[in-house]
Amino acid sequence: MTEYGQREPAGGAASVRCPHRRVLTGLASQHGASAIAAHCIRHRSTLHRHMQRNAPGTASSHPVQYSKEHFCGKSRWRTLPPRKAKERMKKERIFLYSGSFDPFTIGHADIVQRALALCDRLVIGIGYNEHKAGWTPVEERLRALKELFAGQPQVRVEKYSCTTVDFAQQQGITCIVRGVRGMTDMEYESNMATINRQLAGIDTILLPARPELAHVSSSMVRELAHFNKDISPYLPQGLHYII
């Protein structure tokens, strides 16, 4: 018997022991047909070359050697169960959209909808300072936003008082989303993005505000409310604060 995977004469014709045979036998006994299919799909290129080079009537002038690492590699030799394999193949993209959102405006709502097109799940993080009172209490902001996005299960609303990057790590965030309304915002957010990447290796996506919404800000809405002006055009439909 020749070395593992080496061509050997049998019955006057060349034959090769397939290095995948042992793997497939183990998969069949442990995980069933679905694991065999996944293994064959993952290694279809090497299997195809193997069949082409060793088809009936094909002769080679020298023995062909195959190693376990050549086909499967060290990490692939220990095949995961199908459920864990799927989890490894696809990592959920969870984005964080953070801010004080005091109040949450139509500009913020636009950024949320655009961010949802880029991720699997979005966490809206309401940052607050425990020693500083906001225009609306943080618990009211939390309640109002949870009510606003109740019909979108891919959106989750949370509050935090630590640094944004620490909160992102706690939530398993893969990317931070920020909206920018002008060059001043761009410069500030670019610096913050660099710091967050250095601290935690988390990237930041900067989404420019739509031109028709670039003038809308939370501070502007608070100023209008202070002078008893109607602020409803600047708040998303369905958002209701109890102040």
Q: Give the pLDDT score at 77.
A: 39
Q: What are the pLDDT digits (tens) for 84-133?
A: 555 555 688 999 999 999 999 999 999 999 999 999 999 999 999 988 88
Say which residue, 225 or 64, is predicted with more confidence. 225
* Total-model pTM: 0.63
pLDDT in tens, 43-80: 655 555 555 555 455 444 444 444 444 444 444 434 55
Whether the Cβ atoms of residue 235 and residue 105 lie closer than 8 Å to each other: yes
The pLDDT value given to residue 1: 47
Q: Alpha-carbon distance 54 to 16, whole Å?
A: 7
What does the DSSP 8-state code read for residue 75? Answer: H
